[in-house]
Structure 1
Amino acid sequence: MGRPLQTYDDIAIAELAFYVFALGGGIFLCIKHGFTKNAGFRSLVLLSLARIIGASFRLATISSPDNIDLYIGWMTLNGIGLAPLIGLAIGLLSRVFESIQQRKGSVIIRPQYQRFFELLLLLAIILLIVGGTQSNFTITDGKPKVEYSTISHAAEGILVAIAGLLAVAIVIAIFNHKYVGVGEHRIIFTVAVCFPFILVRLIYSCLLIFGGITSTAWLYLGLSSLMEMIVTLFSEVLGFSLDKKEVQPVPGNDEEGQAFSSK
């Protein structure tokens, strides 16, 4: 026997509709800017897939309200939404720092550090998934209550640390904005505008995992779902307005070529 629609289900329907379009936009932006380019748009695809699959799990509980695995899948996928948001912001800023380096002539943030942040984000996602499966889930009338595992606490700690580093990166980018290429200042502006929404999403996760607070549908909507949608929308608008990054010539090669031709 099924159950009637609840507020969580209405939110899942809205998320499903929104992220189907966001997924299409994210795939287009990856093609436009390059799948291998670290512009952060791959994180949009990851977030969209997590939300589409998670919303589908939630809606499947309408016909199978006693299937605890569906609830666990839904809650686990909800938990990993913060990591792609942070990865998106870091990926966008990487383009800014490359632009600054080309014009200023000095390295602001080394690529090795950025790859390290990406590995930390990947580790956090893996830990959130593992921790979600090991957490204690209790479902009452379709409303979840979770006692998070130690692994989930560790994953959230990593995300808090990376969010702090993201804030530092935004400040560095703002102070070096005069070296940013024409048309790319909007990246710094968009990431800076999105950061408060990411911060609210982070606080929500900390309240659940560290504070032991039981969420409600309205808390989830206001502090999690809407925050992710706003960041996704702003980022996709930015991606569509940005030109494809051109490959910059290596100065050393040009100089060597000129020297060779002069001989």
Structure 2
Amino acid sequence: MSPHKSLAIAEVIVYGGIALPIGLFLWVKEGWRHFEWMFVFLLASIRIIGSILQLLDDETGPPNKSITIINGIGLSPLLGIMLMLVHRLCETSQHLRLAKVVMFLHVVVLGAVPLLVVGILKLFSAEDGRALGRILTAIGLSIFFQVYLIQTGIAMFAWKASGTKQKPLSYLGSTILAMTPLLLLRLLYSTLAFFVTSTNAFSPSKGNMAAQVLLSILPENVIALLAVGWGLLIWRKTPPGHTYGLTNATTSSTALTHQ
């Protein structure tokens, strides 16, 4: 069995055995309006589909178009996870206007996905369509990068301006801080995969294993595991019969302090 197929099996185990069921569990427990868990569930589903396609792929042929599209689409739920956690951070620290900006960034990300898909399809089309494909792909990725930069700036501002060291907020801030460089690595890998055409080193289906693991697989897995790990940590600290809410937890702690 080739290294790429072995890696695909490992991804099915990680996402199918950990991220997908825990993401669904947290989504049900916290309520369907907590979309960070929807994005975890979506990311896990996309990666499982991509891994199955990798197992069925003929590695002696040209790069697989479906796997490339799955790889590109997978960026959107990663950004979605980060955006929803930043949204929680903004709401907790009472920066409600910034929270609304973060929610608007979701619409921007969703708008970039069709550009990315069409661009990838054009890259696999006849020679005369590849120039347009590069342009559309570049626009889609540049939107993702801009969203990344904006959400990182918002998270830093909300964290520094909050002035609170409440444990739930501290855990959330640490989780976002750990995810931020990993998401940047994943974005850089996609950029290299789409635009370094002189070699297949960054191909998601046939590329260099070290580059794929360090820049793509590992960052994605760690982001997903950090998200569900933080969710389980906070869920266990939530009083029975209450829906988790950082603002409620912070308010309750403040009230106890003044008693």
Q: TM-score range by the shorter chain?
A: 0.7 to 0.9
User: How many residue pairs get matched?
Assistant: 229
Is structure 2 residue 229 aligned with structure 1 residue 237? yes
Taking the TM superposition and a 5 Å limit, the aligned residue runs for 1:7-46 are 7-21=3-17, 22-38=19-35, 40-46=36-42
Separation in 1, partners of 2:175, 2:213: 22
Tell me the distance in 1 between the aligned counterparts of 2:134 and 2:49: 23
Q: C-alpha deviations, 1:55-107, integer Å up to 9, x for none?
A: 11111125x966x7x92111211122222112111101211211111xxxx64
For residues 82 and 247 of structure 1, the distance between their equivalents in structure 2, rounded to whole angstroms, comes to: 27
Aligned to 1:149, the other structure's residue is in SS state helix
Identical-residue share of aligned pairs (%):
24
CA distance in 2, matches of 1:238, 1:27: 14
Query: How far apart are residue 179 of structure 1 and its match?
Result: 4.0
Aligned counterparts of 1:32 and 1:129: Cα–Cα separation in 2: 33
2:85 counterpart residue number: 92
CA offset at residue 205 of structure 1?
1.6
Contact 1:87/1:118 (<8 A) preserved: yes
**Between Structure 1 and Structure 2, whose CA radius of gyration is higher?**
1
The partner residue of 1:204 within 174, 178, 189 is 189
* Correspondence for 1:52: 48
SS in 2 for 1:176: helix
Q: Does 1:109 align with 2:95?
A: no
- Give, as a single letter, the amino acid of the residue that structure 2 aligns with 1:217: N
Equivalent position of 2:208 in the other structure:
217
Residue number in structure 1 paired with 2:151 = 166
Distance in 2, matches of 1:247 and 1:200, equals: 29
Q: How does 1:53-202 map to 2 (within 5 A)?
A: 53-62=49-58, 71-101=64-94, 107-111=96-100, 113-136=101-124, 149-179=134-164, 182-202=167-187
Corresponding residue of 1:226: 218
Deviation at 1:181, TM superposition (A): 5.2
Tell me the TM-score normalised to structure 1 length: 0.78
Structure-1 separation of matches of 2:228 and 2:112: 24
- Which deviates further from its counterpart, 206-215 or 156-165? 206-215
Task: Classify 1:75/1:57 alpha carbon distance in 2 versus 1 (closer, same or farther; 3 Å).
Answer: same
CA drift at 1:136:
2.1
CA RMSD of the aligned region, Å? 2.7
Residue 247 of structure 1 and its aligned partner are, at CA, apart by 9.8
Q: Which runs of 5+ in 1 are unaligned?
A: 138-145, 250-263
C-alpha deviation, 1:156, in angstroms? 0.4
Q: Give the unaligned 5+ runs of structure 2.
A: 249-259
Q: Which structure has more helix as a fraction of its residues? A: 2
